[in-house]
Structure 1
Amino acid sequence: MNEHTLRQRLVTLGKRLYDRGLSPGTSGNLSVRLEDGWLTTPTNSCMGELNADEISKLDWEGNVISGSKPSKEYFFHLAYYKNRPQAQAIVHLHSTYSSAVSCLKNLDDKSILPPITPYFVMRIGQLPLVPYRRPGDARLGDDVARLAPHYSSLMLANHGPIVTGRDFDSTVSAAEELEETARLFLLLHGHEYRVLDDAAIDELREHFGVQWES
């Protein structure tokens, strides 16, 4: 897609996320890679009311080329793009269930959500927890840079998820899948439940190229 089309797509899918209640108020931010830089949602913008012309365009040093001032969290988007070439788009949300899981204690360090559905394994993969930093803390960029080569998605402690993907549409869908998995996980909390075993995950690896370390 060209820049004009991607700007319009940010508006359309941003509203979809907002209408589903996954980005309340002015929370969260979106971005997508271009040939000559990248686009991201402006600071303090509501995803339900994005303006295509005001979406920020930045270069690979984080300088604004056009549009409004970018989100204060633009730096962790940049860290992901620089350290994960296959990441073509990023969705960061403060969605309810995912954010709730990000506040829980005593979760698996390899993936704070277990492999309870094949779609979580296929679209998100293992989901490590990034230690808490205050919003806008530049050290978060270093945390993301360290993990980005190994994981397509991360969970920020007491904050919310960062999801990347091969294009903007599939990244939004993956973020929605993550929220649904978090909801299922919380519904199952306190119950005995079944996860996908190694054989099931191996089958997903074979058929879909899934990356999930045993």
Structure 2
Amino acid sequence: MRIKEFEIIGKRLFNEGLVGGNFGNLSLKDKDGFFITQSGSYLDEPGDLKFVSMDKTVESGASSEWRVHYETYKLTEKEAIVHAHPAYSVAASFFYSEVIPEDSEGKMLCPVIPVVAGEPGSDILAKNISVALKDAPVVIAKGHGTFATGKDLKEAYLLTSIAEHACKVIYLMGGFGGLSP
């Protein structure tokens, strides 16, 4: 298993302030399901990974967001998912139904970031996120955080970081109650 990849990306997320404490989760697709971080684990020290099979057999202790990961892997060809709680992205989710980046990297890599609703850990959130991720590489769950996909955890992390940067730029430009230009 690629536990080192989980640790490296977890440390990047933590160091960049994209997660706080033991919030967020990571997963990597496997041939019969996916490996996901434990519920309540610190992403920079993920500990034992939990396996969720595509027949919905969930190893005890798996992250409560396993449903989002399951539905996303079922509906897309993505290989990795990063769920983080970046502050500017969460704040933007209260003001927008979609975020349209103004910065060049955001425009290029995630030109539209959908914002969807659903309670954390719920089937409704899983459905809404997975459907949105069919057409976008990163989505914001209203009041909850980002879900980014990629061919690996590194790419999903990058999209998480880009989405947060795009939301911060919009804020600094005066969007969603931010500073006036």
Q: TM-score, normalised by structure 2?
A: 0.88
The answer to whether 1:127 aligns with 2:96 is no
Match of 1:42 in 2: 38
Match of 2:66 in 1: 74
Match of 2:137 in 1: 152
Contact 2:137-2:159 at 8 Å conserved across structures: no
Q: 5+ residue gaps in structure 1?
A: 193-214
Seq. identity, %? 27
The answer to whether 1:143 aligns with 2:137 is no
Q: Equivalent residue of 1:49, what SS? A: coil
Determine the C-alpha separation between the residues in 2 that align with 1:180 and 1:146: 24
Could you tell me which amino acid in structure 1 is paired with residue 32 of structure 2? D
Q: Equivalent residue of 1:47, what SS? A: coil
Aligned counterpart in structure 2 of residue 13 of structure 1, from 5, 9, 17:
9
Match of 2:80 in 1: 89
Deviation at 1:172, TM superposition (A): 0.8
Matched residues, number? 177
**CA RMSD, aligned part only?**
1.8
Give the number of the structure whose residues are more often strand, by fraction: 2
Aligned counterpart in structure 2 of residue 183 of structure 1, from 153, 158, 168:
168
Match of 1:60 in 2: 54
In structure 2, relative to structure 1, the CA distance for the partners of 1:145 and 1:19 (3 Å cut) is closer
Q: 5+ residue gaps in structure 2?
A: none
Determine the C-alpha separation between the residues in 1 that align with 2:158 and 2:130: 23
Determine the C-alpha separation between the residues in 1 that align with 2:20 and 2:130: 27
Aligned structure 1 segments of 4 or more residues deviating by more than 4 angstroms = none
The answer to whether 1:116 aligns with 2:110 is no
Determine the C-alpha separation between the residues in 1 that align with 2:120 and 2:82: 16
Q: Per-residue CA shift, 1:173-195, capped at 9, x if unaligned?
A: 11111111111111011546xxx
The answer to whether 1:172 aligns with 2:157 is yes
Deviation at 1:145, TM superposition (A): 3.5
Deviation at 1:113, TM superposition (A): 2.0
